[in-house]
Chains A and B, each alone.
Chain A
Amino acid sequence: AQSVTQPDIHITVSEGASLELRCNYSYGATPYLFWYVQSPGQGLQLLLKYFSGDTLVQGIKGFEAEFKRSQSSFNLRKPSVHWSDAAEYFCAVGARAAGNKLTFGGGTRVLVKP
């Protein structure tokens, strides 16, 4: 069965500093991988996705993520964080053979200090 682990429950970062959120997955084949963001009171919004090809993917809001098959990881990065990036971030793996239903990690809550 597929699974996703986000080791960090909370991260606090200063505005303007860089951010990296960790994600490790377990899946029997090449995975579909996603990062979603959930702002307070808002729905889930897709930041970026990986399904094949270039292992460094660019997303919205200045985010990028790198797929590393050898480490079963798909870490999310942003070079310079803005106060509006304070939110909860979810990594997810999609089941290729089952309608792309998503399995989510537990989420990482990001706090941004001024």
Chain B
Amino acid sequence: GAGVSQSPSNKVTEKGKDVELRCDPISGHTALYWYRQSLGQGLEFLIYFQGNSAPDKSGLPSDRFSAERTGGSVSTLTIQRTQQEDSAVYLCASSSGTGSYNEQFFGPGTRLTVL
């Protein structure tokens, strides 16, 4: 079956512009996570959604970052007024729940470069 997909695979933008990154989780997965992988910070959690519950936004680095999940499926991560330190690979993962036995399946990531 299809895995987690992310688009675009690469995004180059200018400082100050807004960007939207998309994640299509595995069909039927109720939990969706966003992580960021950067040279300076390693792999870090950003936000997760579980079903219809309010998202856990505790990892978002600033109020320029936001995410939504429409219809319990597709998610969009939006970064407003991008800065050079936002350059990173943004990874999305989904799982069939939030218990330990529910493996998180990761997408290939979106590489964001802010010039």
Contact = CB atoms under 8 A, between A and B. Distances in A.
Interface centre among B4, B101, B104 (most CB of A within 10 A): B104
A51 B101 CA distance: 8
Interface in B34-63: 35, 42-45, 48, 50, 56, 58-59
Contact of A104 (B44, B58, B95, B98): B44
A98 B106 CA distance: 19
A99 B32 CA distance: 10
Interface centre among B44, B50, B100 (most CB of A within 10 A): B100
B104 A102 contact: yes
Contacts of B107: 43
B72 interface: no
Contacts of B104: 46, 100, 102
Interface string A72-100: 00000000000000000010101010111
Nearest to A45: B106
B108 A32 contact: no
A81 to B, nearest CB: 23
B100 A107 contact: no
Contact of B42 (A32, A52, A106): A106
A39 to B, nearest CB: 11
Contacts of B91: 43-44
Contacts of B106: 36, 43-45
Given A42-B108, A100-B98, A100-B99, A90 B56 contact: no
Interface in A52-80: 52
A102 B100 contact: no
Contacts of B95: 100
